[in-house]
Structure 1
Amino acid sequence: MEPLSSLSTSGAESLSSVHMGLSRMFQRAVEGSTDKESDLNRRLVLVWIALQLAGQIALPILIATMVFHKRVARRNPTIINFCVVWTFATIPPEMLFYAGKYLAPAQPGKMLCLLQAATMSGIPPMAAVAYLSVVVHACTVVYELNQDVTVRPFTLNLRMIVLLASPYIAFLSFSIYIAFFGANFPTDIKLDEFFCVVAGHNLSTPVFVFTIGVVLFTLIAQAWIIFTCYQNRSKGSRSRRSFGRSLSSFDMQFVFRMLGFTVFEIVLVVACVASILKPQLTFAKLLLATPPFAVFLVFATSQDILCAWFPWCLRIDSASIIRSKSVLQISRSERTAMTFSRDQPTIKSRVDSAFSQYSQWSQAPMLGGSTRVVSDLEKGIERPPDAHIHLSRDFRVESVETSMQVHSYSSQQNPMDTMRSFKSTRYSRKKPPPI
């Protein structure tokens, strides 16, 4: 019996040793997988931060170029405000990075986490409304040109103030809404994979419903702009053809560029919904860090912006430099017509003189007021409704209430008859201020 008992004891010991060995191997495998998962999460967080920082650095450079560069067409305030909104939108996702709490095992405080969760919830509505403001301004300009509507300066100013302030109102509304619930339920504030959120209570549902509604309305407005431009270009009247020609390459490229961004925005909304329904979809969350740099690419690929940054690489003709104001970038009070000097001996000197006059003209106020003079010949002279500056027989720059374009025509054609065939802009009869 003793050998049998000793055999059973040794067998039990061997089984226990095997069990301990297997448990240790399993524990090491789990620890290894956990380390790999944490390393992957760390890399994804760094990619998230890098994408946000790329837009945070690039957008201020673009804004400074559009505002201060002399050879860049002056953009409408709604476009600049759209870039400012997306620059501001890069700050809340980077709050943990600025505080040094963006990598485990560091944990942010409750107040910092609540602040980030509230501001992150206000970014989608703010960005959607800012983009809608750009499209609404384009719609109003196209409508006024199409229907020949005269708008008072007070109405223009009030409309612009509403368009510029509405994104920030949407941001504050939804941020306060999330902050209120987060303060009442502090236990629901937690750190997600990339940023803090207020879990539960279906708080994100109103945010995304509002954002999706604004994006769909923006898409409908853009479709109306494209349809109106196409309809006016298809009609046979001369004024309609002038309207369509002024909405040619530069304007339509801008419209289609913004339409592409609208599709990208819809993809972002879908990614947001997917990240909420399935939190394990990390790629959908990474898409939320790409819009700031995408906005930079949309506006930085304009020809005048690229030529301002790379003057030694890109050569554009003189017509492209002067034809820089589009129907989406100007207000009604800025639409004017002017022509070049015939006395210049060469094409280059005529273009340089024209660009100098255009630079002075582009300093006119964006909203309301009387249109400023474009050359020394107009100082102290009241402009009648049909007044134009005719100085050239070979080249003329026209802005048939829309954009400035350079056209050449035969010397046998009477330039004054050609100018009279276009619809004149209604100028203020008041004496214009000095340049």
Structure 2
Amino acid sequence: MSSSNGTTTSADRPIDVPFNIVNGNHSELIAYLVLNIWPSHFGLPLLLLVIMLSKKIQRSAAFLNMLVVWIIVGMCVLHQSKLELLMMESIYGTSRSSTLLLYAGKQSGEEPPKMLCLFQAALIYGMPPMTSTATLALVLQMFLSVRKAYLGEKLTPGDGILRTWLLLIAPYVALLLTVIATAVVGASNPSKISRNRRFFYCSVEADPLTDTMTVVAASILLATVILEIWTVVYLYRLSRTIKRTGGKVSSIIDLSFPIRIIAFGFYVMIALSLSLLSITTPRSPVPDLMISTAATVVIVIFGTQRDILHALFFWCHRPQPVKVVHEKQESIGTMSLPSRISIR
């Protein structure tokens, strides 16, 4: 029988288990798992493989790292569901043949072991810092490339190697620090660890932890927005300078990739803002579902570029005759720019 404070006294649920405060349903749970799992096991690995194997596609290390980060996110969600499904199987003696349905149908059943639940919560809590840091690294790399093009500086071999490595490891440092912090807080307060409090995953009820996560992630998102706006300003100034000299912007600057990065950056900003809101005031399943679409959005935005589509559907494109083009320099104001600026 349910009590007034949301706990139960029945054998199915211990009295100290928090009431499920997220109003989700069976279909939303299935959608959450599918949206996280299919990109990490098919879409993103395929996109990464195409870029790595094609000699005609060039992308920055920060972009490739972002793909890896979102693959890890999907893998963690799958690992989380597998661990809990195995636990449920041992409790209910149910076959593994319909794992998703079992997971969806038993979300109000017996709580998993505290350490297992804490492990899941630590991984899930580490996802927003890792993904937001990876997005910031990609936007920062784009900003530096655009600024270098605007200032007329040439990229030299070995330029920014240390910075590149710092950008690559930063997301994983953010993940590790968050996992450690969550594990320490959860281990110190086992009664605050619960799966039933959240609908999609285990959580730790600790305001200082979630408040700190919110502030840090919000700072990262703010830095991302500032860099994106700054990048747009640089691109606008560069475009105006080109037009004043009688040049054609589309023939000198390849804007496709920067525009896609900016669009994805704003999407991640909105999604992660909703996700952080769900940590502090978890009621609606919409924030969790919103952030679960991010990997699919990555595939749609970056997997539909012309060079990638040509590599995927190579049999549909006839090879064009090779033309010898002598690269020329165009003087723009005080800058001397090549005939084509490609920002990757």
Match for residue 12 of structure 2? Answer: none
| CA shift for structure 1 position 118 | 0.8
Superposed, which structure 2 residues align to 1:265-344 within 5 Å?
Answer: 265-312=268-315, 315=317
Q: Which runs of 5+ in 2 are unaligned?
A: 1-23, 89-102, 331-335, 340-344
Question: Aligned partners of 1:397 and 1:79: how far apart in 2?
Answer: 30
Residues 1:277 and 1:146: Cα distance change in structure 2 (over 3 Å): closer
Counterpart contact for 1:242–1:400, Cα < 8 Å: no
Cα displacement (A) at 1:399: 8.0
Determine if the alignment matches structure 1 residue 228 to structure 2 residue 234: yes
SS of equivalent residue, structure 1 residue 288? helix
Q: 2: distance between equivalents of 1:422 and 1:256?
A: 21
How far apart, in 1, do the equivalents of 2:31 and 2:140 lie?
35
CA, structure 1 residues 253+153, in 2 after alignment: closer, same or farther (shift >3 Å)? closer
Aligned twin of 2:53: 68
Deviation at 1:193, TM superposition (A): 0.6
Structure number with greater Rg is 1
Shift, 1:155, TM fit = 4.8
* Cα distance change on mapping 1:245 and 1:218 into 2, 3 Å: farther
Q: What is the 5 A alignment of 1:180-191?
A: 180-191=184-195
Structure 1 position 243, deviation (Å): 8.3
Native 8 Å contact 1:239 1:422 kept in 2: no
Ranges in structure 1 where 5+ consecutive residues have no aligned partner: 1-39, 319-347, 355-391, 402-420, 425-435
Cα contact 2:146–2:231 (8 A) shared by 1: yes
Determine if contact 1:123/1:171 at 8 Å carries over to the other structure.
yes
* Pick aligned residue for 1:47 from 28, 31, 35: 31
* 1:129-153 alpha-carbon deviations (Å, 9 max, x no partner): 1111111112222222332446765
Task: Indicate the structure whose relative CO is greater, using CA pairs within 8 Å and at least 6 residues apart.
Answer: 2
Whole-Å Cα distance in 2 between the matches of residues 88 and 236 of structure 1? 42
- Verify: 1:169 aligned to 2:154, yes or no: no
Structure 2 counterpart SS, 1:90: helix
Identity of aligned residues (%): 27
After TM superposition, the score normalised by the length of structure 1 is 0.60
Inter-partner Cα distance in structure 2 for 1:98 and 1:310:
35
How big is the shift at 1:283?
2.3
2:261 corresponding residue in structure 1: 258
Alignment correspondent of 1:361: none
Q: Which amino acid aligns with 2:311?
A: A
Cα RMSD, aligned residues only: 3.1
Is the 1:49–1:94 contact (alpha carbons within 8 Å) kept by the matching residues of 2? Answer: yes
Give the number of equivalent residue pairs.
Answer: 290
Q: Could you tell me whether the CA contact under 8 Å between 1:125 and 1:167 is conserved in 2?
A: yes
Q: Does structure 1 conserve the Cα–Cα contact (< 8 Å) formed by 2:69 and 2:131? A: yes
Q: Which residue of 2 aligns with 1:93?
A: 77
Q: Deviations over 1:49-104 (max 9, x none)?
A: 1111122121111101110134x412111110010011111122223322214441
Distance 1:134-1:207 versus aligned 2 partners, 3 A rule: same
Matched residue type, 2:299: F
Q: Do the aligned residues in 1 keep the contact of 2:125 with 2:179 (CA within 8 Å)? A: yes
Residue 259 of structure 2 aligns with an amino acid whose one-letter code is: F
Contact 1:246–1:400, Cα closer than 8 Å, also in 2? no
> Which residue of structure 2 aligns with residue 123 of structure 1?
127
Counterparts of residues 391-406 of structure 1 (less than 5 Å): 392=324, 396=325, 398=327
Q: Structure 2 length as normaliser, TM-score?
A: 0.74
**How far does the alpha carbon of each residue in 1:310-331 deviate from its partner, in whole angstroms, 9 at most, with x for none?**
2355x58x7xxxxxxxxxxxxx
CA distance in 2 between partners of 1:235 and 1:151 (Å):
21
Asked if structure 2 preserves the Cα contact closer than 8 Å seen for 1:230 and 1:244, the reply is no
> Residue 217 in 1 paired to residue 223 in 2?
yes
